[in-house]
Amino acid sequence: MVTFEQLKLNAALLKSLDALNYTLPTPVQAQAIPLLLQGHDVAAQAETGSGKTAAFGLPLLQSINPGLQQVQALVVVPTRELAVQVRQELKQYARFIPNLKITAFYGGHSFRLEEDSLAHPPQVLVGTPGRLTDHLSRRTLDLTNVAQVVLDEADKLLEMGFEEELDDLLRAIPRKRQTILFSATMEEDVKELIANSLQDPRFVQASATAVPDRIVYYGLKVQDEQKPQALVRLLQSINPAGTVVFVNARLTTTEVAQHLQEHGFQARALHGKLEQSERDKTMTLFRNGTASILVATDLAARGLDMDVVQQIIHYELPQHQDAYQHRSGRTGRAGKSGTVYTLLSSRETQKLEQWPDVQVNEWLDLTELAADTSVPMEAPALTTLHISGGRKDKLSPRDIVGALIAEVGLKASEIGKIEIQDRHSFVAIPEEAASAAVRKLSAARIKGKRYKVSFVR
Ligand code: AMP
């Protein structure tokens, strides 16, 4: 067993890993980190959940010169959610490196704000291809000092049609650079990208540990037309909090979410065609428990690392085994335990049986699923409030807790998760206190200032 110290990571990074309680490197980290620190181009086959972000992130951070205010490393990711997540994760690792700026650029939010932030360029920039090339064509972004570039989830980048954007980005970066590619699969198009963009690459393949062992897989045999009732029944038999239901088509997300709402569940649809603000809102509501169930397509949920995910339900089987494993990997992450349920028609059962790396630990009989009375189905009901001020207004969670206690009379223990963003904040509170809270907080001052307070619906 190799340790993080033996991988020759510096003291600041070791300190943050210690603070995060990472005791040992994962297989992909053990293999990739030494190669990356030696400066090799690396092509790695690894999935979300394998620890891939730290595998490229730690060596990348070690190579940055914090004294130089230039974009030195670029991480290209397929989705905005992944951009936000990778940035967050890198920031955690960089906690003890002073003066290091890590920024994320992605479509759907203000171009101007991004442009303004380039007045003091970050050393590490994470972004989606479309938005990054936008910056290039408007000449707002200088990539000529980039020495390291990461193509994260390369298979997805290509699948989403970003080939041209990748070309443009790589052409804007000096040839003398370290190029790093991570991909869940190594199809022909990915191999081609490696051949065209990496120099003398070293290959790393993390063994099939992408879906950790501590996931328990349950199968339920139901015909297609019975699936809506079966899903309700299943959710009534478990604690539904923190459930992601996967479906194959965008339209199905809204149908299924609506069906669940009609049966009293706090369910929300998440798909790639929603407005950015709507997706952000849905994620906030899921993270803070106001919505207990997300009904999502693969694309929408890809790369999401959410500690709140307790279980996955495959409402439909995806086309390929890879996608099935990806979906399943949203739970049981990094050694936590997780549960996966799969609703299978006879056609789908046959298909699943042909996937060599997939197993069902136990088959459940729908008629025997008893409603679980030990967990109140959807309690306590929460409502999320939107407050029109955030980090830029110097609001902190303490200010919001303070106002809710002083103005609304809530107890600290009743206040749920608080999320402070740049210009707004969200807080989850008990539903029955919500109307009074909106009224009283709107009339009050928080840290001496008036804010608009409203419900998030
Ligand atoms: P990723 O595959 O990059 O999406 O990472 C999966 C999760 O594992 C993330 O939540 C990381 O914070 C966590 N993680 C990464 N490396 C380690 C490690 N060596 N020990 C424990 N957790 C880790």
Give per-residue pLDDT as tens, 421-431. Answer: 889 999 999 88
Sign of the CA dihedral 53, 207, 183, 314?
negative
Residue owning the nearest CA to atom 15 of ligand 1: 51
CB within 8 Å of 170: residues ≥ 6 apart: 149, 179, 197
**What phi and psi, each to the nearest 5 degrees, are found at residue 50?**
-85, -5
The predicted structure's pLDDT at residue 418: 86
More confident residue, 300 or 452: 452
Cβ of 305 below 6 Å from ligand 1: yes
Report pTM.
0.55
Instruction: Please say if the pLDDT value at position 276 is more than 50.
Output: yes
The predicted structure's pLDDT at residue 85: 84
User: How far from the centroid of its chain's Cα atoms is residue 454's Cα?
Assistant: 26
Cβ of 22 below 6 Å from ligand 1: yes
Shared fold status for 5-205 and 382-455: no
Ligand 1 closest atom vs CA 334: 8
**8 A C-beta contact, residue 267 and residue 257:** yes
Answer whether CATH 2.40.50.100 is correct for domain 382-455.
no
Mean pLDDT of all residues in 17-33: 92
Cβ of 302 below 6 Å from ligand 1: no
Q: Give, for ligand 1, the residue of 2, 14, 18, 26 to mutate: max count of ligand atoms closer than 8 Å to Cβ.
A: 26
Pairing of β 148-151 and β 73-76: parallel
**8 A C-beta contact, residue 15 and residue 96:** yes
Separation of CA 48 and ligand 1 centre (Å): 9
pLDDT tens figures, 198-237:
999 999 998 655 444 567 788 999 999 999 999 999 998 8
* CATH architecture for residues 5-205: 3-Layer(aba) Sandwich (3.40)
- Number of neighbours of residue 249 by Cβ within 10 angstroms: 11
**8 A C-beta contact, residue 107 and residue 130:** yes
Cβ of 50 below 6 Å from ligand 1: yes
Q: What are 216's strand-pairing partners?
A: 339
* Cα-based angle 244, 248, 251 (whole degrees, multiple of 5): 95
**8 A C-beta contact, residue 235 and residue 259:** no
What is the band of 107 on the pLDDT scale with cuts at 50, 70, 90? confident
Sign of the CA dihedral 193, 210, 278, 399?
negative
Mean pLDDT of all residues in 345-353: 95
Mean pLDDT of all residues in 64-82: 93
What is the band of 337 on the pLDDT scale with cuts at 50, 70, 90? low
Cβ of 334 below 6 Å from ligand 1: yes
Q: How far apart are the first and last CA of the chain?
A: 50
C-alpha distances out from residue 382 to 202, 431, 432, Å: 50, 5, 8
Single-letter amino acid code for the residue at 229: Q
Answer whether CATH 3.40.50.300 is correct for domain 212-368.
yes
Cβ of 51 below 6 Å from ligand 1: yes
Separation of CA 203 and ligand 1 centre (Å): 20
The predicted structure's pLDDT at residue 102: 96
Instruction: Please name the helix (run of DSSP H) or strand (run of DSSP E) that holds residue 296, with its range, or none.
Output: strand 293-296
Task: Name the token pair of 244.
Answer: 């992601």
Cβ of 79 below 6 Å from ligand 1: no
Show me where the domains of the chain are located: 5-205, 212-368, 382-455
What is the band of 140 on the pLDDT scale with cuts at 50, 70, 90? very high
What is the band of 306 on the pLDDT scale with cuts at 50, 70, 90? low
Of 18-32, 128-142, 199-213, 268-282, minimum mean pLDDT range: 199-213
Q: Which residue has the tokens 């009375």?
A: 373
